[in-house]
Amino acid sequence: MPEGGLKRINKYLSEVGYCSRRAADKLIKQNRVTINGNVPELGTKVAPGDQVAIDGTLVTPTKEEFVYLAFNKPIGIVCTTDTRVEKDNIIDFINYPKRIFPIGRLDKPSEGLIFMTNDGDIVNKILRARNNHEKEYIVSVNKPINDQFIKRMRNGIPVLDTVTRKCTVERLGKNKFRIILTQGLNRQIRRMCEYLGYSVVTLKRVRIMNVNLDVPAGAWRDLTAQEMKEINRLISGSAKTHEVK
């Protein structure tokens, strides 16, 4: 361990299975984290023997095996771990006996596959944008789509001060299409459709990397050993997680 066992506080919270590094940074900014009773800044390091607490409750490293779930998020459920704010949050809905958190998110009006885990390190590897992990969606819009719509969606749409990556888009019906993304901009598909004058009516994520949606809405299952083996192979080239912003 570098620097005599010191770890950045967000890395520490990730490795002990409390939350992802991104979520840890949010907690720190909200002054909900303390180290030996003191409120740290982003980037503060934890030494062996330090007492880390969230909202006054001591954080202890988990000695249990990591949990990896495939969950079919229903419409109306919010992908947040802040159970104080959102009544319809994903944590209370699943009510899993161990502390877990989502890998990424799906908008409240969207549904479909999302991974849940207590392994903070894998979160960063999966979410890291440059890793090009596929996510597949089935989308319906408010009016008929045409060849021009498909072509423009495939070739990139300007959203959020960038242009979306080229992607796979296939028409499934008059108002329905399949899209496979390798990036995860905020409300990306909805923004892409809006740019072309369409509104999303339904949006369901049906695949993440090698895992297909195969449970009913509101249900979850453990990822299989084979699925985890393939996921770990796919993320094996991920950059070091400490580089993740």
Respond yes or no: is residue 107 known to be catalytic.
Answer: yes
CA angle 230–235–237, rounded 5-degree value:
125
Q: Which of 55, 92, 107, 121 is catalytic?
A: 107
The token duo for 133 is: 């992990």
Q: Are 110 and 162 in contact (CB under 8 A)?
A: no
Place of tokens 């809006």: 194
Residue type, 18: Y
Residue 91, classed as helix, strand or coil, is helix
CA nearest neighbour of 130 among 19, 5, 241, 7: 241
CA nearest neighbour of 52 among 97, 90, 19: 19
Catalytic residues: 107
